[in-house]
Chain A
Amino acid sequence: MAEKLFSLIYLVPLLPLLGAFVNGAYAFSGAKLVRPFVHTIALAAIFIPFLITVGAFLHVTSLPEESRQVVVTFFPWLDVGSFKANVEFLIDPLSLTLMLVITGIGSLIHLYSVGYMSHEPSYARYFTYLNLFCFAMLILVMGSNVPMMFIGWEGVGLCSYLLIGFWFTDSAKAAAGMKAFVVNRVGDFAFIVGFLLLYWTLQSKGHATVQFVELRNAVTHLDGVMLGSFSLVTIVCVLMFIGATGKSAQIPLYVWLPDAMAGPTPVSALIHAATMVTAGVYMIGRMSYLFSMSPAALNIIATVGFVTALFAAIIGFTQNDIKKVLAYSTVSQLGYMFGAMGVAAYTAGVFHLLTHAFFKACLFLGSGSVIHAMSGEQDIQKMGALRKHLPITHATFFLSTLAIAGIFPFSGFFSKDEILWHAFNHSKLLWLIGVTAAAGTAVYMLRMVTLTFYGESRVSEEAMHHLHESPLSMTIPLMVLAFLAVFGGFLGVPESLGHFFGLHESNLLEHWLEPSLVFPKEALPMASHATEYFLMVFSLGIAISGCLIGFVLYTKRKDIPESLAQKYPKVYEFIYNKYYVDEFYKAVFVNNLLRLNDFLALFDQKVIDGIVNGTAYVTKIVAYVSGWVDRTFVDGLVNLTASVTSFGGIIARRFQTGRIQTYLYLALGAILVIVFYRFG
Chain B
Amino acid sequence: MISINSYLFVTVLLFCLGLYNVITRSNAVGILMGVELILNAASLNMVAFAHFNGNLVGGGIFALFLIVLAAAEAAVALAIVVSIYRQFGTIDVEEATNLKG
Contacts and interface: CB of A to CB of B under 8 A. Distances in A.
A661 B23 contact: yes
B19 A664 contact: yes
A75 interface: no
B5 to A, nearest CB: 17
Contacts of A664: 19, 22-23
A668 B23 contact: yes
**Residue with the highest number of chain A CB atoms closer than 10 Å, among B19, B23, B97, B101:** B23
A659 interface: yes
A658 B97 contact: yes
A676 interface: no
Contacts of A660: 93
Contacts of B86: none
A668 B19 contact: yes
A546 B47 CA distance: 157
Contacts of B19: 664, 668
Nearest to A663: B23
Interface in B67-101: 93-94, 97, 100-101
A500 interface: no
B88 to A, nearest CB: 15
Contacts of A661: 22-24, 26
Interface string A653-676: 000001111001100100000000
B93 A658 contact: no
A659 B24 CA distance: 11
Interface in A626-680: 658-661, 664-665, 668
B22 A659 contact: no
Interface string B15-35: 000010011101000000000
B34 to A, nearest CB: 10
B23 A658 contact: no
A671 to B, nearest CB: 10
User: Chain B's interface: helix, strand, loop or mixed, by majority?
Assistant: loop
Contacts of B23: 661, 664-665, 668
A655 to B, nearest CB: 15
A658 B94 CA distance: 9
Contacts of A659: 93-94
A463 to B, nearest CB: 107
Contacts of A665: 23
B57 to A, nearest CB: 31
B69 to A, nearest CB: 20
A360 to B, nearest CB: 105
Nearest to B24: A661
B13 to A, nearest CB: 16
B26 to A, nearest CB: 8
A668 B22 CA distance: 12
Contacts of B100: 658
A664 B15 CA distance: 14
B95 to A, nearest CB: 11
A664 B24 CA distance: 10
A30 B100 CA distance: 81
A661 B19 CA distance: 10
Contacts of B97: 658
A78 to B, nearest CB: 80
Interface in A433-474: none
A424 B23 CA distance: 139
Nearest to A664: B23
A661 B93 CA distance: 10
**Residue with the highest number of chain B CB atoms closer than 10 Å, among A660, A661, A668:** A661
Nearest to B20: A668
A354 B98 CA distance: 114
Nearest to B26: A661
**Residue with the highest number of chain A CB atoms closer than 10 Å, among B22, B24, B97:** B22
A667 B47 CA distance: 27
Nearest to A662: B23
A658 B100 CA distance: 7
B77 to A, nearest CB: 13
Interface in B13-68: 19, 22-24, 26
Contacts of A668: 19, 23
B87 to A, nearest CB: 17
Contacts of B93: 659-660
A143 B34 CA distance: 115
Contacts of B94: 659
Nearest to A661: B23
A658 B95 CA distance: 11
A570 B93 CA distance: 129
A658 B23 CA distance: 13
Nearest to A656: B101
Contacts of A658: 97, 100-101
B45 to A, nearest CB: 17
Nearest to A665: B23
B94 to A, nearest CB: 7
Contacts of B22: 661, 664
A515 B18 CA distance: 132
A514 to B, nearest CB: 111
B37 to A, nearest CB: 14
Nearest to B94: A659
A658 B96 CA distance: 11
A649 to B, nearest CB: 14
Nearest to B100: A658
A659 to B, nearest CB: 7
A82 to B, nearest CB: 85
Nearest to A668: B19
B19 to A, nearest CB: 7
B99 to A, nearest CB: 8
A211 to B, nearest CB: 91
A660 B94 CA distance: 10
A175 to B, nearest CB: 87
Interface in A128-154: none
B49 to A, nearest CB: 20
A646 B13 CA distance: 42
A97 B92 CA distance: 123
A664 B93 CA distance: 15
Nearest to B22: A664
8 contacts: A658-B101, A659-B93, A659-B94, A660-B93, A661-B22, A664-B19, A664-B23, A668-B19
Nearest first, the 5 A-B pairs at minimum CB distance are A658-B100, A661-B23, A664-B23, A665-B23, A664-B22
Interface of B: 19, 22-24, 26, 93-94, 97, 100-101
Given A658-B100, A661-B23, A661-B26, 13 more contacts: A658-B97, A658-B101, A659-B93, A659-B94, A660-B93, A661-B22, A661-B24, A664-B19, A664-B22, A664-B23, A665-B23, A668-B19, A668-B23
